[in-house]
Structure 1
Amino acid sequence: MSQNNRIFDGLGRVMNEAAGVADGVRREVETVVKSQAQRIVVDMDLVKREDFDALRELVQVQGEEIDALRKEVAALRGAPAKN
């Protein structure tokens, strides 16, 4: 019986060590994949979401200002405004 317990204890230790090694490998692979993805994004010269949203808002405001100015110019000329 004692022999079986030692075998199972040894097997348990080996499995724990294998799980630890597998976890370390997983973390290393995640790190490599993440750094490669970041490098690809930098190489593609992509815009950050915050910058895109800010620029989109600015363009929208400027579009509204342009429409208002077109209406104002049309009113000064006495012609109907075009959009």
Structure 2
Amino acid sequence: MQTRNPLLDEFAKLTTGAMGLAQAAGEEAKSAMRAQTDRMVAELDLVRRDEFDVLKAEIAALRAELAALKTPSAAGRKKPETGRSTGAVPPEDAAG
């Protein structure tokens, strides 16, 4: 058996309306925060992740190219010989 109480019906309607209003206010607050965050990020002039990854790959390729350029030039140059001429006669020539 169900009774109809106008006071409870009005309270239920009021509660339902308040919940809808709270949800709408929550969504509005989220939208405002998102807009504010987007504005702050734009002012900071931050780099996007995809742009950062592209630059990182380019730098890695340039470093590899630089290392490849350094390697042949180092191999092409011979180290100066460290043996010095003392003017002494080698032992084989001294006996003969």
Per the alignment, residue 11 of structure 1 pairs with: 11
Identity of aligned residues (%): 29
Give CA deviations for 1:32-57 in whole Å, capped at 9, x if unaligned.
11111001000000000100011011
Moved over 3 A (4+): none
Cα deviation for residue 19 of structure 1 reads 0.6
Determine which structure has greater relative contact order: mean sequence separation of CA pairs < 8 Å that are 6+ residues apart, divided by chain length.
1
TM-score, normalised via structure 1 length:
0.84
Using the alignment, how far apart are the partners of 2:73 and 2:13 within structure 1? 83
1:28 matched to 2:25? The reply is: no
Unaligned 5+ runs, structure 1: none
What is the RMSD of the two structures over their aligned residues, measured on CA atoms? Answer: 1.3
Per the alignment, residue 72 of structure 2 pairs with: 72
Higher helix share: 1
Greater radius of gyration (CA): 2
Unaligned 5+ runs, structure 2: 80-96
TM-score, normalised via structure 2 length:
0.74
